[in-house]
Structure formats: structure tokens, C-alpha cells
Structure 1
Amino acid sequence: MLIQYFVFVLGFLCSTIFAASPAIHEYHLDNGLKLIVKEDHRSPVVLSSIWYKVGGSYEHNGLTGISHVLEHMMFRGTTQYPAGDLDRMISSVGGQQNAMTTNDYTMYYQLLPANQLALSFELEADRMQNLVIKQSDFNNEIQVVMEERRMRFDDNPQALTWERFMAAAFVNNPYHHQTIGWMTDLENMTYQNVRDWYRTWYQPNNAIVVVVGDVDANQVLSLAKKYYGAIAKKAVPVLKPRTEIASLGTIRVNVQVPANVPFLIMGYRMPTLATSKKADQIYALDVLSSVLGGTNSSRLQNDLVRTAQLLSNVEVSYDAFELHGTALQIFVTPMAGKSIAECEAAILKEIQRIKTEKISVDELERVKAQMIASKVYGQDSVQEQAMLLGTPEMIGLPWFVGENYVEQIKRMTPEQVQQAAQRFLQNKALTIAILHPESTAKQQPQQNLVPKNGDLYGKTVH
């Protein structure tokens, strides 16, 4: 009966999303700009976003963090619209805006009344070409970014542990450093560095515009031609591949800083949809991560938090949409009186169990229903719809990979999930980082750290 219920839920959710999905239109301007439009007439709003293929993974030592610094500078004004005009003009029509920098892209967006789309195109086309980068503005913004780094990493023991985990897990991979950058690189960055970065990467042929909302696709195309069409394209660098070196054994990292409680990160290096030719394995890994710790009813939550009362908190993260691979990461806070060694041993036992004992159909259907429900309900948001379209494009995949996600998850079998666990949850791919609190601990708030899209809290947001 339970199986029948979850099969019904899956069928209902999938039929709902696919029956209701409007047509998606893709256009290409002569200057190389790609335009993706999804009409959604349920509310009189539009989400207009522009995505640049540049982020933390495009940087090299000495310039880490520069993509995020440039994101800050993009709000400092252009030759036509001085600082403050952008926010004022968007607010005056009842809109809101923001930006985010991740490992693999930088994205700017405005949420507006549907009849104000032209305003977004006008402002974004302007700052694609005419950004003013002043020494004085740079001096202010670099201080803001350095303070952000101090708050998010240097003064946050769990985040600092995660940063060291990533640096150890990814040696010759662009994800070795965080999007926020190393502090020494921020301290030595110049406004000329930022100006050069802007001129190199912010080109129409390196950008994608994604529009979702109460619009007509043909009218959106006309607006795109009007505002973006005259911008000349320019060659952008082709980055040399940086293939990660082979894993030779489990890596261990110990961090000793003032903290309230110990903290454990266990992560297995994994492929993604961008790095693997076997997409079924990637969707199986996504399901596997949810079986382990994706929900309150997942195995680690049920077995080690509620039943054994060994863990105070556990989170599992896996992101299939990253350009240079990823890691399936497990974040653990022990219950008071329990040791890190006990937690690690218990988690490894759970991992061994999923490799040797096939997941039941009941459990798998429940997990898939929860995963699909999250995606389906997210479609009520124009922001989430835009993310689903834009993210695959930023890692070299077509937008419909995101749109087809639900159907791919629905297809996963117990055998595929077990095979993924057997192949990829290997000790030689494992990195373990442990936070050992020093006795002179400062009072730090406990946080649940679940990276998304290569950054600690999902995105670095302006």
C-alpha cells in the first residue's frame, strides 16, 4: 500500500509539472548573446536575469575573489547612470534586484512588474558596456568584501574548517579556493585588476539572458535586439583544463581554532553532469545523497540523530550542476558527550550498509517523491524557474537538462543507487576534516553548513 501511495504521488507531481509547463524559447543574437524566455502568465511579474560565464573557478592564485569583487562594483554606477540610480530606478517601479557570484558564474537579476522588462534590459545592457570603476569606489568595496570574508570564514570556525576541507579535497581543481577569495589576494588586489576582469569577461558572447514571467516571447526578443543587439562581441579567453589529480588515499585535515563544539566534514569527490558521460550515474548520486541525509526521514537523521542519539545535527550535500566536479559532503555536529571518532565510525558503517544492502522500493519511492515535490513546488517561483534554466547553461549543458530533472529522478532504480554508492563512495576519494575546539573558545553561533553551487551558503549575494 505504501509503495502504491508513493507511486501515485510521483505520477501526480510529474503529470502536474509537465502538463503545466509552458513553452520555452531560445534565441541567439548576432553578437553571440543567448536569450531564453519562458512564459508564465500566472502572475503579472517578470524575472529578468543576465548570467556571465565567469566566477571563482575562472580565477587563479593572486586574483582569487575578483569575480565577487566585480559583482560589488557593478552596483557603483555607469557613465550614463551614476551610483544609486540603478537601485532608485528599479525601486521606483516596484521592483527588486540582487546578484550572486558562484564558482561557475555571476548572475544579476531584477524582479519587476511584467510591463517593466524594458527597464531591466536597458540598465543591464548599459552596465555590460559602460561600468565606471573608480579607485575610491574600489577602496570602499574591497573593504566591504574583506569584512565579509572575516565574518563568513575567518571568524566562523565551521566555515573555516570547510574552506580547509575544500582546499585539501581539490588540489589541482579550480574549486581549491572559495568564491570569496583568499584574504591575501583581496589585500593585494587593485582596481585595475577589476577593470581588466570586467573588460575580459563581460561580453555579450559570454552572457545568457534568462527571462521568466508574464511576457510574450516575441516581444522579449524584440527588446533584446533593441538593447543588447548593438553591443559588439569580443573574444573571451579559453581556459586551459585543470584536471584534478588522482586520489591515492583518504585525506585528513585537522583544524584547531576557538569554537564551541567539535565539527566533522566527510566528503567524497564525485563527478557531475558536466564531467561525466554517464548521466544516469549522476542522477543516482543525487538520489543517494537524499537517501543518506536529504530529509528529516533520511537514514542518517533517523538512525544516528533520533535513534542512536549520536549526532546533534547532520546535513548531506551533493550538487550535480557544477562545472569541474564536486563532492558528496556530510556535515556533522556530535551530540554532547559523543566523540568525533564515534560519529565517523557510525557514518562509515551506514555508507557500507548502503553499498552492500539494496535500498528497498518503499524507501526509494519515498525519497524520490520528496525530491520531486521540492522541484515541483519550486516552479511556483519565477526565480527558481530561471535558476533551473540558467544553471545548466553555465556548465556547458543545454537548459532543458534542468527542465528534465524530474523525469530523470523518477527513472532511478534501487540497483542504480546501490551501484553508484559502490563505485563512488570509496575511501581513496574521501577527505575528512575535523574541527577541534581550542579551550579558549569564543562563543560562536552554531550553523548548519550546506554548500550549494560551490559556495558556503549557496551563493555570494550582493
Structure 2
Amino acid sequence: MKTPLLIGFSVLACSNVFANSQPAVTATPSPSERTYTHTLDNGLKIIVREDHRAPVMVSQVWYRIGSSYEPVGLTGVSHVLEHMMFKGTHKVPTGEFSKLISSYGGSENAFTSYDFTGYYQMMNANNLPLSIELEADRMANAIFPEDEFVKEIEVVKEERRLRTDDNPNSRTYERFMAAAYLSSGYHNPIIGWMHDLDNLTYKDALDWYKTWYAPNNATLIVVGDVAHKDVFALAKQYFGPIAAKTLPTVAPPTEVAGLGERRINVELTANVPSIYIGYNVPGINTVKEEWEIYALRMLAGVLDGGYSARIETELVRNKQITASAGANYGGFSRGDTLFLLSGVPTQNHTVEDVEAALTEQLERLKTDLASPEEMARVQAQVISGIVYQQDSISSQANQIGRMESIGRSWQEMDTFAEHLKAVTAEQIRSVAQKYLIRDNKTVATLTPKQ
């Protein structure tokens, strides 16, 4: 067993801290009943969900900063900063963070999205003190060796080339998003535009870190075989001394009203054509009538909710217009979002055929009511998904973190299924008529080069 590099942490001293403090289990409480929250004086919010089925835990720190916050010229800086956060502190040299977690049998990684950046470790529950101490250390004391930045920015550029520039569908989707979002920060790709990455400096990343990485802009989430009081105590010990910061004031990303349909065509070397269709719609933070969020989610489920949904049944299997197609609406975002449809035509059809078929499906929903059987199917799928999600401590933590990081409460997901059950077929028709209209529409097609 290796001796940790950090001062103040001893696996032997902490090995029984959780096992000795577990309450006797007399019944199986609901996930909400096993979830506890606490906020430190410096603003760090801590959410703990006790799950004692296995002696493991996942610890996550979510920062309310992502690519949608980035100004023109600094696109990609949030993701670059995520990479730089593994370059060490004065206590933990470059490369040692991951080695430490691995040496105790754990796994770790990080992620950047439009609305947040997160870091996580999954380990034996006894090793939670190590995870929390490491995260607190780099929240306050991350160092940015300039030579490491020079190397890491090239790693990010290569990641962009691999995932986007060399993938025709990814490049088309990137251009589609830029056309669909005119005034919102969602206009820019999470990884950043290549010309911005070329010009991004060491100081840009350091300034971004100093501005946004603070306890009052973060949430610590722990799910697993832990006792909440012990987690709160550890958080106070390691995160408590970190001072809060004055954060910039930001508004949710909102879109200007559409003035007509927008269309782009992307010509690239590709095997097959494809099409993306998006409608600008509100998200949970920008909608005026909250029921509309759940009606749009039900609408997406009627179209694309498994083997018996309309798109799969009618367009893929029966008419064989599309080799694949789908509809999606998340709704849980910091700002306005998209109702998205996409498709790849079969060999004997074109993207125009796919668009016409998908549009016909939307027009039907504007006039005809979804059937009771369709409504019940979507509701059952959502409920089963929520149940299955409880099997994974990582999925539970991700759900909590996402909601908290967009300015909502994790508790709202407890009522998600009930909100969907309350949606009527008339409400689905209403949101289709209101939002899925020409002025809100953006279309991007990928045309293979001859």
C-alpha cells in the first residue's frame, strides 16, 4: 500500500470512519429519504445520498461553468481548463493525481458541457477522505505550468480533429448548432473553434480558473456507502478554509425570436447523407408555463420512444424512408434549447424525403391527438428509466449534479414522472402548434462530395 502524498490523510486512520457510523437498517427508505444537503459558510453546497448496497462511493465536484459562459474569442477555455486541472498542485505534482486514485483501486475522470464542468472519483467508500482532500486541494491550489499548457493545448486540438474535424456528421452537427443558436452561448462548440484554440494562452486558462473555480460556484455530491454526517465533516475540514469569490453575474442563454426558417448545407467527404432539424424552444429555466416542458418531452417520446414509436414503426420499418432517425428534447438546460430531429435516408430515398416524412409526423401531432396507448407507453418508459437509474451510484450522482448545476433542485426529478403523467394529449398538440413552426426551424444537411 502506498503512502499518500497529501498531508493529513491516513487510510488506516479513516478506514473505519464510515463502517462504524452506519445506522441500523430497518426498512428501505426512498432515494429522497436517503439524501441529505448542507451548505458550508463559504457557499459550497454538499449533497449526500446514502446507498449501502455495496462498499463503494462516487464523489463529484460540479462547477457552474461551461462553454455557454465563454465570450467570443475564448471558446473552448472551459474544456482546456478541465485538462489543466490534472497538472497538479504544490502538494500533488503533475501526473500524481490519477496515480494516487489508481493506487487505491479507484477510477477518475472529468467532463465539460455547455452548462457545467465536473470531476469525479469512484472508489472504495473508505477512501472518500482522499478524494475530498484531492478535490479541495486543486480547487484552491491548482498550478498551471506553462510548459504543460503548451503540450496540453495540442492534445485538445488533436481531440477536436479526431472527434469533429475528421467526422463529417460531427462537423455538420457543429455547423447546425451554430446556425440554430444565434444569440445564445450554445452557438459555440464545447471543445471550441480551432482558431480560438490556436490563440488561447496560458493566462486565459489561469484567469478562467481564478474567476470561476470557487466553493460558492460548486457542488460536492457523494453517493454510496457513506454516512452523511461524516461527509459533511470531511467537506468542512478540507473545503471549509477555501474563501468564497465574487462571481460575475450571468443570465440564462436565451434566443432571439426567429424571423424565418434557416438552412445550411455542408458538403464533405462522407459515405451517406444526413439531415438535422431543430426548433428553438424554451428550457426549464426560460419557459413561462412549466407544463410545456413535460408536454414537449412527451411529444418527443411519442415520436421516438422505442421500437413501437411512430418514427421507428412508420418511417424506418414500414415505409423504409430512413435507415435511422430520431427525435429528442431534453428541456433541463440553463437556457433556451432545441427540439431536435435527425435522420439518415435509405439507399432509395433522399434527405428531402426524410425531412418531408418527419415534417408530416409533426403536422399530424398538431391536428390529431396522441392515443392513450402512446401516452401510457412513454410514461412507462420514463418511469422504468428512473428506476433503472437507481442501480448505478454514478447515474444517481449525475442526475443530482446536472439539476443543481443548471440552477434547479435535485428534488425536482422526484416529481418528473408525476409531471409527465399529468400531461394530456391536448397539451402535446398545443406545444406542437406553438413551437414546432417555420420561424423556429433550422435545417442542416450533409451532402457527400462527389
Q: TM-score, normalised by structure 1?
A: 0.89
* 1:226 corresponding residue in structure 2: 237
- Correspondence 1:53 to 2:33: no
* 1:196 corresponding residue in structure 2: 207
How many residues are aligned here?
Answer: 423
2:317 to 293, 306, 311: 306
Question: In the TM superposition, what are the counterparts of 1:329-340 in structure 2 within 5 Å?
Answer: 329-340=340-351
- Quick one: structure 1 residues 228 and 71, their matched pair in 2 at CA, closer, same or farther if it must change by over 3 Å? same
Describe the superposition over 1:149-173 as per-residue Cα deviations: whole angstroms up to 9, x where unpaired.
1111111111111111111111111
Question: In the TM superposition, what are the counterparts of 1:153-192 in structure 2 within 5 Å?
Answer: 153-192=164-203
**SS of structure 2 residue aligned to 1:232:** coil
Moved over 3 A (4+): 17-22, 240-243
Give unmatched runs, 5+ long, in structure 2.
1-27
Distance in 2, Cα, partners of 1:93 & 1:241: 40
Deviation at 1:113, TM superposition (A): 0.8
The residue type equivalent to 1:85 in the other structure is E
User: Share of identical aligned residues, percent?
Assistant: 46
Deviation at 1:402, TM superposition (A): 2.3
> In the alignment, is the contact (CA less than 8 A) between 1:22 and 1:40 conserved in 2?
no
- Correspondence 1:117 to 2:133: no
Distance in 1, Cα, partners of 2:187 & 2:168: 18
Which deviates the most, 231-240 or 52-61? 231-240
The residue type equivalent to 1:373 in the other structure is S
The residue type equivalent to 1:218 in the other structure is K
* 2:22 corresponding residue in structure 1: none
* 1:292 corresponding residue in structure 2: 303
> In the alignment, is the contact (CA less than 8 A) between 2:50 and 2:224 conserved in 1?
yes
> In the alignment, is the contact (CA less than 8 A) between 2:300 and 2:328 conserved in 1?
yes
Distance in 1, Cα, partners of 2:344 & 2:170: 13
Deviation at 1:44, TM superposition (A): 1.1
* 1:432 corresponding residue in structure 2: 443
Distance in 1, Cα, partners of 2:96 & 2:418: 44
Distance in 2, Cα, partners of 1:134 & 1:95: 26
Deviation at 1:239, TM superposition (A): 2.4
The residue type equivalent to 1:391 in the other structure is R
The residue type equivalent to 2:203 in the other structure is Q
Question: In the TM superposition, what are the counterparts of 1:309-328 in structure 2 within 5 Å?
Answer: 309-328=320-339
> In the alignment, is the contact (CA less than 8 A) between 1:359 and 1:414 conserved in 2?
yes
**SS of structure 1 residue aligned to 2:343:** strand
* 2:6 corresponding residue in structure 1: none
Give unmatched runs, 5+ long, in structure 1.
1-16, 440-462
* 2:216 corresponding residue in structure 1: 205
The residue type equivalent to 1:22 in the other structure is E
The residue type equivalent to 1:79 in the other structure is H
* 2:10 corresponding residue in structure 1: none
* 2:254 corresponding residue in structure 1: 243
* 1:383 corresponding residue in structure 2: 394
Question: In the TM superposition, what are the counterparts of 1:62-101 in structure 2 within 5 Å?
Answer: 62-101=73-112
**SS of structure 1 residue aligned to 2:72:** coil
The residue type equivalent to 2:247 in the other structure is V
Describe the superposition over 1:78-103 as per-residue Cα deviations: whole angstroms up to 9, x where unpaired.
11101221111111221111110000
> In the alignment, is the contact (CA less than 8 A) between 1:24 and 1:36 conserved in 2?
yes
- Correspondence 1:266 to 2:277: yes
Deviation at 1:243, TM superposition (A): 3.4
> In the alignment, is the contact (CA less than 8 A) between 1:389 and 1:403 conserved in 2?
no
* 1:419 corresponding residue in structure 2: 430
* 1:280 corresponding residue in structure 2: 291
- Correspondence 1:38 to 2:49: yes
- Quick one: structure 1 residues 110 and 190, their matched pair in 2 at CA, closer, same or farther if it must change by over 3 Å? same
2:38 to 12, 23, 27: 27
Distance in 1, Cα, partners of 2:248 & 2:377: 46
Distance in 1, Cα, partners of 2:362 & 2:251: 36
Deviation at 1:404, TM superposition (A): 2.3
Higher relative CO (CA 8 A, sep ≥ 6), structure 1 or 2?
A: 1
Distance in 2, Cα, partners of 1:26 & 1:93: 28
Distance in 2, Cα, partners of 1:379 & 1:239: 33
The residue type equivalent to 2:39 in the other structure is H
* 1:442 corresponding residue in structure 2: none
Deviation at 1:240, TM superposition (A): 5.3
Deviation at 1:407, TM superposition (A): 2.3
- Correspondence 1:368 to 2:375: no
Q: CA RMSD in A?
A: 1.4
